[in-house]
Amino acid sequence: MQASPPPQAEWRIALEASFFQPGVRRPVPDAKKTFLTAGIYKDGEFTGFTKKEWEGFAMEWEAFAKVARRNAESDWGSLEIRFKRDRREVVQYAEIISRNGTAGCCVVSEAFGACFLETMGDCFLFAVPSRHQCFVFPKLGGNNAVYSDMVHAAYRASSNPISVELFEWDKGVIKAVGVFERP
């Protein structure tokens, strides 16, 4: 018997840690410990679907993902973005703070790329150490290893850790390109 899926406005896809063993997941290319996970954002929290729930909804991933990515666009209004600049005002990195835990959802939306197009270009790097925090780095000209302490500290301080992997955003395509080493 087919179950009714939750309201479409709640649908989300989020980056999630493999140790959470998400029930409905798709790989992020080249990632070792992070998946894209299907679930809902409701009452201030992302909850991934179990495999049984997903099978009961009889949905296809791509159809779900299209709606979920569009929904993540609406989450951008609740984010705080801080740019860290050097003494010449060149952007070193950006920090995204999500009070409602949607940082892992927002990185799959088109708004993510649009937000950083002027400062980082159409290809940039990012890390999502927790559901509440994301760091964005320019792809060119940076030594991202210097940010390892910062990423690991955010990961360890979180009650909802996601990953210390480094991802690349290239015109909407996400893939893992490395791991921040332990300090």
pLDDT reported for residue 2: 66
Identify whether 37 is part of a domain. Answer: yes
pLDDT reported for residue 58: 87
- Domain end, chosen from 56, 75, 94, is at 75
- 131 and 142 inside one domain: yes
- 96 and 147 inside one domain: yes
Residue 65 · residue 41 · CB < 8 Å: no
- 165 and 145 inside one domain: yes
Identify whether 3 is part of a domain. Answer: no
Mean pLDDT per 10-residue interval, the chain, length 183 residues:
80 90 90 94 86 90 93 89 93 92 90 91 94 92 83 92 94 93 79
- Domain end, chosen from 40, 75, 110, is at 75
pLDDT reported for residue 1: 53
Q: Do the bridges between strand 34-42 and strand 11-17 make them parallel or antiparallel, or are there none, so unpaired?
A: antiparallel
- Domain end, chosen from 25, 45, 75, is at 75
- Domain of 62 in residue numbering reads as 8-75
pTM: 0.91
pLDDT reported for residue 183: 66
Instruction: List, as one string, the DSSP characters of 19-58.
Output: GG--SSEEEPTT-SSEEEEEEEEETTEEEEPPHHHHHHHT
